[in-house]
Each structure stands twice: as structure tokens, then as C-alpha cells.
Amino acid sequence: MKILIVEDEELAVKKLQKTLAGVDETATVVGVTDSIKGTVEWLQSNKQPDLILMDIELADGQSFEVFNLTEVKSPVIFTTSYDEYALKAFKVNSVDYLLKPIQKEDLQVALNKFRQLKNSYGGAEPTSDISIDSLVKELQQKLQPKDFRKRFLVKHAQKLVSVEIGEIAYFYSDGRLNFFKTSDNKKYVVDYTMDELEDMLDPEQYFRISRSFYVSVGSIDKIDDYFGNRLILQLKPAVDKEALVSREKVTDFKKWMGK
């Protein structure tokens, strides 16, 4: 199996070569590139390898740019230091990813997956089903910093008021209307559904504890156990309804609070 390594850290290249040798005797590294430019030039002047091991972050930018500059027919296994939770959605049949530092067992699993895919095509390169373009676009969207809402424009006493996101303690639903309360206990109607707010709020700062509540880290005054394997929160400023962490949210909520 002929492999191209795209990696800009010399130590990482050496470790990857050593790990490859330990998991697959047939693996031959036919090239090593350390930049977008170098990778494009290599692919344009050499026969496409059987497989590419490609780091996402290179010295001259994200390696996704390679796909915009030249045709990549080979299956790709991305290597990355990004958090597994952020990337778990991109584990697909044809393209895998490995978290750094790369472990021997993980590399073995990825190579086995590649072989199974290739065998299902009778030894031919499964280029038609790799879906590199769609994967790259999804990864770019996921890894690029998201522009979360910085303020909300709301009605108050026949006027429009702009409220900075940092002033908002929590959002909640009460019947047909959705509200937020500020840290100084002012209450406003917000013209978005709770589902729409999900794409607007920074998950580092706000957590959806139930269908009807988003809370900020700073708004949580006390956490108590509640029947049904749930939690109940005392918020500041106080709210006139129970702020319950639903049973299915409890584990993720505890992780979020512990960051």
C-alpha cells in the first residue's frame, strides 16, 4: 500500500512512519509533504497514492485548501489534534480521522477500514463514493470559529433596546412566549424559538437544560438532585418556574459545568 503523508511536524512524521511500519508490513511511504503548496505540487507530478494521511492544520493554512487547488482521487485519513466530540460526526466509511498523538491501535483500525472499503470495490479505488468535497465542507464549517450572537434587539416600553449577550442570565419559555432575563433582573420577550436560539448561543456559555430553558454559567447559584434522576437549579436572578435539567441532559450538563 502506497501512502502519502501530509504533515508539517518532523517528529510527527517520524512517529507516523514508525507506527505504520508496526501495523502494516505492506505500507510504503512514497512521499512526505509539509504544506498546501508542496502537497498540490506532489499530487500533480506523481501517481495518486493508495491512501493519504493528511494533517488538517499545516504551516500555510488548513489542508482542505488542497482539494480546491487540485484533484484528489485517493482516500484520505485526516489526522488532527481537535477534540473528538467536535469531529465524531465525520466518521464515515470512506474517510476516517485520527486524533493526535496517533495510537497504533487507532491507525490499525483505520487501515483495516480502508482495506474493507477497497475490497468491496473488487480492488478498484472507490473514488466515486469517497465524497471528499462534502466532507471537507462539513469539516470546514465545524472547525472554523462560529460567529455567535453578540446582542439581541428587543422591545421594551414602546422602544427597541439592544441587550448585550453578556448581560443575559438565561432564556426560558413560558407558554407561547420566550423570554430572557438579564443579570440585573430585567425581563424581555425574545422573538426566536428555543430551537433557533441553539444556533445563536455559544455552547461554552449557555447550556440547554431542557426544552424550555437555556442557562448561562454565571446564572447558576445552586444545583440539587431531583427525583427522576434529574437536577434542579436555583438561578440568579430568581425565576418563577422550576429550572430542571432533564434526565437525558444530566451527564452532558455535568461535563459542561466541569469545564
Domains contained in the chain, CATH given = 2-143 (3.40.50.2300), 151-257 (2.40.50.1020)
pLDDT given for residue 111 in this prediction: 83
Strands (E), 111-194: 151-156, 159-164, 168-174, 177-182, 187-189
The residue among 129 and 118 whose pLDDT is bigger is 118
pLDDT given for residue 130 in this prediction: 45
The tens digit of pLDDT for each residue in 162-205 reads 999 999 999 999 878 999 999 999 999 999 999 999 889 999 89
pLDDT given for residue 206 in this prediction: 95
What average pLDDT does the segment 104-114 reach? 80
pLDDT given for residue 94 in this prediction: 40
Q: Give Cβ neighbours of residue 4 (< 8 Å, ≥ 6 apart).
A: 29, 30, 31, 32, 33, 39, 42, 43, 49, 51, 52, 53, 74
pLDDT given for residue 234 in this prediction: 96
The tens digit of pLDDT for each residue in 232-258 reads 999 999 998 999 999 999 999 999 998
